Amino acid sequence: MSVIKLVKNDNLPQVTLTLTDGSTGNAIDLSAATTSVVVRLRAQGTTTVIATLTCTKTNGGGDGVVMFFFPNNTLDVTPGTYEGEIEMNFNGLKQTVYDLLFFTVRADFD
């Protein structure tokens, strides 16, 4: 399990994900205009979602590649460990990725 390291109040880095089918290893086709992907962020050990981050299909989505960043005040949080849940929406049909993303946020020098 790798941890994405972040600094409080930053907006970057851009995080790039490749979503694949766990059975076949093939990229999930996200190219339909009605298909969207979000990452929901919460502090580890809590149930309250603090942000829903919209992903962009970087190459049109056919290759399963999406990216997101941390807009506005997303990372104006207490330093600590956070987790993210990836959800795909296929024209109203939801599929959630079983594995979570993990983030560590440290205080900035300001």
DSSP letters of 20-78?
B-TTT-PBP---STTEEEEEEEEETT---EEEEEEPEETT-STT-EEEE---TTTT-S-
Q: What is the pTM of this model?
A: 0.93
Length of the chain: 110
Q: Which two tokens stand for residue 106?
A: 């440290």
**Whole domain around residue 88: which residue ranges?**
3-106
110 residues of the chain, pLDDT tens digit each: 689 999 999 999 999 999 999 999 999 999 999 999 999 999 999 999 999 999 999 999 999 999 999 999 999 999 999 999 999 999 999 999 999 999 999 999 97
- 8 Å CB contact between 8 and 43: no
Count of domains observed in the chain: 1
**For position 69, which CATH number holds?**
2.60.40.3350
